């Protein structure tokens, strides 16, 4: 099993290109199931999760081309051979549940295994299922699979989510494009990935209004056509690399980044004393001498502070001047990185969904273990700002969400390398 070796060595300077968003691409790919014509995605990231979704689509009979060559993915679902999403593939990635809505909308039946993914809380799929039931689907849970049918097709309806769910909003939005009549999604998620999905579906001929707000209206159509669509830049990768110079000093320009994607996060960096500015090429972050200031953070649905940047922000607060309080309101069990940061000398007190972080002047390198995707990169960031060597173990999580992390950080002056496992 591979590890990442990091040596703290001072300031970082240069450019880091920002890839297409993993979470957006994983949402866009199942849209190919809604049409018999090709869907092409440009700016697609090269990640293990994207390969897993490709394998899942191929298992259903879709053609997926371009995964090995680079950033252009072309998919065609003109001849689906299966409506069963098998456990062996679905267990690897939570986003696999997003094939349920499209399969059901297209052909009126689907069998999809309950999904897996990072161990950061229960994240139940009941909101997905209730949304589809509101559109007339009949569902049965049996032997770890969701058996779904919609005789005569899905019908428009009102879906009111009891709490904001990105995945359930995406699944309902995909399904509603081919439902008969009008579907209204209330208390819908507002994330940029959902806006990106709506824009892609509209290119395919869907009739959608209100994306980016808490109420989305979809008028179902008889069929969707093919399209070409660029994947939105990855706001979580952007925020992660913005934190590298914030922790180490120096100046890094994140090429292709857009400040509108990370406004709440950027406000916290500004509060901590970090300079953030939008440029013609992206977003530039710089930090002078001296320690950053401690700031309090509460994770919230978009446009609030992203839960997927909480672990990385905690790493920054470990060396801040003062005490910060980080409150996690999206997922339970998402402070598993805290004990690993404490192995590096961090002072962290976790009580339920709140972590109190008292900054120290310098972290010290140590062997640590990654527990999930975002924890992996938070430990790498901590290692960049630590004295000595940090060996981050179990980084297979990292490859699910970050493309060429060693190369990108290495190009701005980080001493980082992958240690191949046996």
Compute the distance between CA of residue 355 and CA of residue 265 in angstroms, rounded to an integer. Answer: 18
Q: Is 118 a catalytic residue?
A: yes
Residues 25, 118, 254, 318: which is the catalytic one?
118
CB distance 37 to 226 below 8 Å: yes
- The reply, when asked if residue 79 is annotated as ligand binding, is no
Q: Which residues contact 1 (CB under 8 A, 6 or more apart)?
A: 393, 394, 395, 396, 421, 422
Cis geometry, peptide bond prior to residue 303 (ω within 30 degrees of 0): yes
The answer on whether 123 is annotated among ligand-binding residues is yes
**143 annotated ligand binder:** no
DSSP-derived 3-state class of residue 39:
strand
Helix (H, G, I), strand (E, B) or coil at 414: coil
User: What is the spatial distance between Cα 127 and Cα 119, in angstroms, rounded to a whole number?
Assistant: 19
User: Residue 158's beta-bridge partner residues?
Assistant: 184
Pairing between strand 227-230 and 73-76?
unpaired
**Pick from 182, 105, 183: nearest CA to 149:** 105
CA distance 27 to 401: 14
Closest Cα to residue 229, out of 76, 46, 72, 41? 41
Within 8 A by CB and 6+ apart from 261, the residues are 192, 232, 233, 235, 238
Is position 125 annotated in a ligand binding site?
yes
**DSSP of 283-317:** EEEEE-SSPPBP--EEB-STTSB-GGGHHHHHHHH
Cα–Cα distances in angstroms (integers) from residue 412 to residues 246, 252, 278, 286, 409, in the given order: 13, 7, 19, 13, 5
Q: Is residue 124 annotated as involved in ligand binding? A: yes
Eight-class DSSP state of 135 = T
Is 330 marked as a binding-site residue? yes
* 86: three-class secondary structure by DSSP: coil
308 is in an annotated binding site: yes
To the question of whether residue 127 is assigned a binding role by annotation, the answer is: yes
Peptide bond into 175 cis (omega under 30): no
Please tell me the distance from the alpha carbon of residue 135 to that of residue 214, in angstroms, as a whole number: 19
Active site residues: 118
Q: Annotated binding site for phosphoenolpyruvate: which residue ranges? A: 22-23
């Amino acid at each position: 099993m591979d590890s990442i070796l990091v040596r703290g060595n001072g300031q970082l300077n240069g450019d880091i290109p920002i890839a297409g968003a993993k979470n957006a691409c994983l949402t866009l790919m199942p849209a190919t199931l809604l049409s018999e014509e090709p869907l092409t995605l440009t700016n697609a990231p090269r990640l293990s999760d994207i390969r897993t979704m490709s394998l899942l689509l191929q298992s259903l009979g879709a053609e997926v081309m371009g995964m090995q060559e680079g950033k252009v993915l072309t998919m065609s679902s003109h001849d689906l051979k299966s409506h069963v999403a098998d456990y062996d593939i679905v267990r690897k990635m939570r986003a696999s549940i997003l094939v349920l809505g499209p399969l059901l909308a297209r052909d009126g039946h689907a069998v999809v295994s309950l999904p897996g993914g990072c161990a950061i809380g229960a994240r139940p799929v009941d909101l997905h299922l209730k949304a589809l039931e509101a559109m007339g689907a009949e569902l049965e849970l049996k032997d770890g699979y969701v058996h779904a049918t919609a005789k005569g097709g899905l019908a428009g309806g009102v879906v009111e989510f009891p709490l904001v769910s990105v995945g359930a909003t995406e699944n309902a939005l995909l399904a509603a494009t081919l439902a008969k009549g009008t579907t209204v999604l209330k208390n819908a998620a507002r994330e940029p990935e959902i806006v990106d999905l709506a824009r892609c579906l509209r290119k395919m001929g869907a009739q959608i209004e209100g994306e980016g707000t808490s109420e989305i209206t979809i008028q179902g159509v008889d069929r969707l056509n093919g399209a070409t669509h660029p994947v939105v830049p990855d706001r979580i990768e952007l925020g992660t690399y913005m934190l590298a110079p914030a922790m180490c000093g120096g100046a890094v320009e994140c090429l292709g980044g857009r400040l509108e994607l990370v406004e709440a996060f950027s406000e916290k960096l500004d509060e901590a004393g970090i300079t953030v500015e939008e440029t013609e090429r992206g977003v530039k972050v710089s930090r002078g001498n001296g320690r950053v200031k401690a700031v309090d953070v509460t994770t919230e649905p978009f446009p609030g502070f992203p839960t997927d940047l909480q672990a990385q922000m905690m790493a920054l607060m470990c060396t801040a001047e003062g005490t910060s309080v980080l409150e996690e309101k999206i997922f339970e069990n998402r402070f598993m990185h805290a004990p690993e940061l404490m192995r590096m000398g961090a002072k962290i007190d976790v009580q339920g969904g709140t972590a109190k972080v008292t900054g120290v002047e310098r972290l010290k390198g140590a062997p640590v273990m990654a527990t999930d995707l975002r924890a992996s990169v938070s430990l790498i960031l901590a290692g960049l700002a630590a004295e000595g060597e940090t060996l981050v173990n179990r980084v297979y999580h990292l490859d699910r969400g970050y493309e060429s992390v060693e190369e990108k950080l290495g190009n701005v002056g980080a001493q980082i390398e992958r240690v191949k496992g046996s």
